[in-house]
């Protein structure tokens, strides 16, 4: 048991995102043919931090870490699973949402990062349904309130038990003076297509909606009497499974515990090293090229399992980004570097491209896409440094277009090969941002000529001058100016207000179309971030602090 610090520079609670089903305290997985049932039965005496109990299937970050792990495992370890049923192991209560006492006692930083992580996990559920052929549905065998209903909204079909009591609700505005923090407002109107005026009623009624009205308003898809509930859930799950293209007779790959070594200033994974510069308030993620040639075919990928280089790198970057987000908030600048044999990277890249219709390769590419999206939404300044000996090729080149700025050395500092980058077909479709565009389409929005020119450069090794001319990097200092330019860049960035930088970077990163995801991360998260600091919610007389005391919150009635 830990305490969540009120400071942002020295958090007391350190999160480890590595877990497995045999260590779960809040979830269990049951598999019956093509249907998996993911059962939420939160252990109220096992919260992540001190000071609250997880009553009524309410959740905190520890509960959601397990859910994220379960979603990943179902995708990779169980190709035979075509439908996943989310349900509760507690009678008459599906989920009461995020634990209110946890929110009331947590630091602002933890609340915001908690909401961001839960959003990413729900987006991963939707990604599974829409792109992996593993469709999620929810069997609401009890009431779903707040984040509990938001969890259900991330699935493709909602079945509510019709017992006269069970309801769905988003009571945050009237009850807590905050917003539903996990995409509820957006999914109600954009995904469920609930009429705007009815959504306004729904989001301001504490008790929510139940029975036929919940169906009529499109808040759920179906209500079922208790006597027929289990049979109907199974029937619908099998109907959804019949539409999937996942293989029936393939073996999955086991997601073994991620290897990680750590000391004060360095975190080491297979193929990824994170160096922490606390004095300079920055962290550097260096990605190493594979240490052996790519397998010949998909059988070789399956044989290597989690050691397969693109999967190993994705897992390491994913864990590193989460670790830095929650455990190292003072490191405001994130630097991306690569090193090693670019030819080997290109061979792995081509192996993925040529087998992308295979279920496992599809999962690896989708995982890489989700990991890069986590970089897109990080509240850090992000830079990429292309130096001699680097390997920004194909999938790794996409990181150059994910960061806020990229610097490429024009010349040599030692006897290593001069810096170069290489685009591949994967940069033009396989790895998309939350706005639905590739990073190059986002980079060259409204400039089709530059995008076409970039496509014409596929497969070519581009030196600094060529990369700058193509608009693929930001600056190309020479060997004389490199060290001074980089030093001044990092010092200047560290001198700016972190709040202003976070706002600026988030506004500049997501150009182009607005999607459900960009609304959640841009619009909803930004407003929730602000509301979490307002006294009406978070003050000593605010709704979050007074929840459950019997006292009424005192609001500043002025509109801002």
- Residue 75 structure tokens: 């995708």
Tell me which of 506 and 464 has the higher pLDDT. 464
Contact 246, 146 (CB under 8 A): no
Show me where the domains of the chain are located. 21-241, 271-504
21-241: which CATH topology? 2-enoyl-CoA Hydratase; Chain A, domain 1 (3.90.226)
DSSP string of 39-62?
Answer: EE---TT--SBSS---GGGEE-HH
The per-residue pLDDT for 11 is 40
Q: 156: which DSSP letter?
A: S
Instruction: Write out pLDDT tens, residues 1-30.
Output: 554 444 444 444 689 999 999 999 999 999
Query: How far from chain centre, in Å, is Cα 344?
Result: 28
Instruction: Write out pLDDT tens, residues 397-417.
Output: 999 999 999 999 999 888 888
Compute the average pLDDT of residues 376-390. Answer: 96
The per-residue pLDDT for 2 is 53
The per-residue pLDDT for 3 is 46
Instruction: Write out pLDDT tens, residues 321-357.
Output: 999 999 999 999 999 999 999 999 999 999 999 999 9
Instruction: Write out pLDDT tens, residues 416-455.
Output: 889 999 999 999 999 999 999 999 999 999 999 999 999 9
Element (H, E) at 241: helix 229-241
Instruction: Write out pLDDT tens, residues 232-261.
Output: 999 999 999 999 999 998 999 999 999 999
CA nearest neighbour of 66 among 19, 33, 7, 107: 19
Compute the average pLDDT of residues 494-508. Answer: 93
Q: Which CATH number does 271-504 carry?
A: 3.90.226.10
Output the average pLDDT for the chain: 95
Q: What is the distance between the alpha carbons of residues 47 and 99, in angstroms, rounded to a whole number?
A: 10
Q: Is the entire prediction scored with pTM above 0.75?
A: yes
271-504 matches 21-241 in CATH topology: yes
The per-residue pLDDT for 522 is 83
Contact 515, 434 (CB under 8 A): yes
Q: What is the distance between the alpha carbons of residues 375 and 371, in angstroms, rounded to a whole number?
A: 7
The per-residue pLDDT for 6 is 41
Strands 97-98 and 58-59: parallel
């Amino acid at each position: 048991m830990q305490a969540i610090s009120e400071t942002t520079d020295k958090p007391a609670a350190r999160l480890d995102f590595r877990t497995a089903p045999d260590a779960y305290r809040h979830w269990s997985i049951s598999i019956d043919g093509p249907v998996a049932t993911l059962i939420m039965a939160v252990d109220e005496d096992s919260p992540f931090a001190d000071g609250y109990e997880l009553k009524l299937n309410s959740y905190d970050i520890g509960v959601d870490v397990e859910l994220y792990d379960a979603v990943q495992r179902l995708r990779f370890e169980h190709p035979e699973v075509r439908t996943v049923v989310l349900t509760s192991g507690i009678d008459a209560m599906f989920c009461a949402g995020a634990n209110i006492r946890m929110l009331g006692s947590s630091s602002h930083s933890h609340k915001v990062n908690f909401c961001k992580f839960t959003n990413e996990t729900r987006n991963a559920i939707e990604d599974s349904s829409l792109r992996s052929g593993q469709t999620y549905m929810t069997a609401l065998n009890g009431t779903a309130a707040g984040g509990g209903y938001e969890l259900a909204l991330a699935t493709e079909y909602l079945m509510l038990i019709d017992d006269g009591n069970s309801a769905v609700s988003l009571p945050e505005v009237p009850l807590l003076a905050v917003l539903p923090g996990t995409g509820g407002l957006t999914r109600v109107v954009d995904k469920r297509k609930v009429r705007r005026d009815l959504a306004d009623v729904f989001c301001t009624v504490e008790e929510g909606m139940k029975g036929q009205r919940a169906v009529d308003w499109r808040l759920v898809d179906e209500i079922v009497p208790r006597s027929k509930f289990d049979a109907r859930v199974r029937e619908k799950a099998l109907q959804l499974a019949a539409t999937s293209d996942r293989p029936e007779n393939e073996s999955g790959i086991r997601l073994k515990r991620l290897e990680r070594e750590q000391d004060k200033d360095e975190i080491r994974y297979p193929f990824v090293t994170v160096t922490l510069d606390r004095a300079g308030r920055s962290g550097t993620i260096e990605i190493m090229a594979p240490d052996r040639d790519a397998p010949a075919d998909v059988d070789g990928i399956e044989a290597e399992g989690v050691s397969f280089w693109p999967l190993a790198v994705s897992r390491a970057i994913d864990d590193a980004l989460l670790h830095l987000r929650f455990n190292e908030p003072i490191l405001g600048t994130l630097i991306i570097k690569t090193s090693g044999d670019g030819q080997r990277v290109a061979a792995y890249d081509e192996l993925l491209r040529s087998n992308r219709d295979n279920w496992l390769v599809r999962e690896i590419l989708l995982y890489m896409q989700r990991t890069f999206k986590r970089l897109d939404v990080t509240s850090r300044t992000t830079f990429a440094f292309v130096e001699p000996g680097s390997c920004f090729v194909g999938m790794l080149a996409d990181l150059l277009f994910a960061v806020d700025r990229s610097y490429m050395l024009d010349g040599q500092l030692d006897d290593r090969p001069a810096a170069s980058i290489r685009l591949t077909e994967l940069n033009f479709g396989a790895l998309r941002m939350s706005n639905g565009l590739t990073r190059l389409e986002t980079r060259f929005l409204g400039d089709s000529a530059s995008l076409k020119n970039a496509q014409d450069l596929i497969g070519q090794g581009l030196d600094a001058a060529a990369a700058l001319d193509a608009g693929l990097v930001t600056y190309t200092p020479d060997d004389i100016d490199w060290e001074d330019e980089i030093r001044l860049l990092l010092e200047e960035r560290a001198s700016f207000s972190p709040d202003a930088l976070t706002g600026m970077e988030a506004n500049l990163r997501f150009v182009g179309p607005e999607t459900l995801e960009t609304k959640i991360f841009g619009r909803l998260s930004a407003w929730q971030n602000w509301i979490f600091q307002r006294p009406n919610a978070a003050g000593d007389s605010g709704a979050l602090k007074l929840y459950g005391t019997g006292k009424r919150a005192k609001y500043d009635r002025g509109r801002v």
